[in-house]
Amino acid sequence: MEFSAEQIAQFLRGEIEGNPQEKVNNISRIEEGGKGTLSFLANLKYEKYLYSTTASIVLVNKSLALSQPVTSTLIRVDDAYQAFASLLNLVQGTVPRKKGIDPGSFIAESASVGKDCYVGMFAFIGENVKIGDSVCIYPQVYVGDNVSIGDNTILYPGVKIYHDCQLGKNCIIHSSTVIGSDGFGFAPGEETFQKIPQLGNVIIEDDVEIGSNVSIDRATIGSTILHKGTKLDNLIQIAHNVEVGENTVIVAQAGIAGSTKIGRNVMIGAQAGIIGHIILADKVKIGAQAGVANSVKQEGVILLGAPAFDIRDAKKSMILFRRLPQMYDQINKLEKEIELLKNQLTDKG
């Protein structure tokens, strides 16, 4: 599909600098460019490529001041990254979604499937499942008994949804993710561990996206909950009875232990570990590989390190840590000088 700069600017409410009839039919990274492609500049680290790219159209921020002439047609917008994302969503919306029930799938008689759905080869839909309209269930997906799935949700190949779980509207679950597996609950005995039955479920609200190979455990009692707009990267563990607030983002390989309550608009970096039974306030930011062992009750705090503490103190500590070898040598030198002075004073005495 082909778009002109004029059409794109109209959709984005942007301002054109250059040829309004310039046309594109593909996208590219700004450092690679290419005639007939559209690119964007959001990170100023890549500004040098703006002056050499052969991309036909480039989205830039209105605030960007040019230091050299450019050959591309520019469309100035408030936020180039957001604008680029909007365009990609527009293009994706033109791709027809799959529809129809593959004869190689299994759907229980007691299950209900809405209009314009797709159920792929070898997918399994259990008893009393309720599936909304325009849901896409790709091959080899397992949907257990009594599960409900909202309109326009997509389950990619190999997703497993255990019994009694609830998925909202417009969710995207990527391949090999497991929702509703047992929480890690065992009571220690004298010689063995006794399994604690996990009788709850998982509730995923609207507009949640979950990456591949994520495990979200069902609650022991009650529900493990991902609230509206939450975004999870790949390879994340969410333990039983965790509650994740609206519009929270968790990056790859992070782990959240049981019964922790995470606020709204929280950002958790890659490989971070959050201990169980604590609370993180709204808008808290946790750095990559941080280890959070205590509740964070103040909104907007940024934490780094393991154990994690305030970013300002963490940065000071990192500077000191890098200087430890030098400080060690200085201390050794001072000890030798002190010892020499002691010997001199003893000799004079």
Share in percent of the chain as helix, strand, coil (round to 5)? 20, 30, 50
100 three-class SS: strand
- The C-alpha atoms of residue 256 and residue 259 are separated, in whole angstroms, by 9
Q: What is the distance, to the nearest Å, from the Cα of residue 237 to the centroid of all Cα atoms in its chain?
A: 12
- The C-alpha atoms of residue 75 and residue 345 are separated, in whole angstroms, by 79
Choose among 286, 168, 176, 180: nearest CA to 240: 180
The size of the chain, in residues, is 349
49 three-class SS: helix
Per the listing, tokens 């958790």 go with 268
Of 174, 227, 240, 277, which one is the catalytic site residue?
240
Beta bridge partners of 148: 130, 166
Choose among 232, 231, 234: nearest CA to 176: 234
227 is catalytic: no
Count CB neighbours of 43 within 10 A. Answer: 10
- The C-alpha atoms of residue 257 and residue 280 are separated, in whole angstroms, by 13
How many Å from the N-terminal Cα to the C-terminal Cα in the chain?
96
Across the beta sheet with 172-173, the strand order is: 100-101, 118-119, 136-137, 154-155, 172-173, 209-210, 231-232, 249-250, 267-268, 285-286, 302-304, 309-310
Count CB neighbours of 321 within 10 A. Answer: 9
Per the listing, tokens 């002190």 go with 338
The residues annotated as belonging to the active site are 240
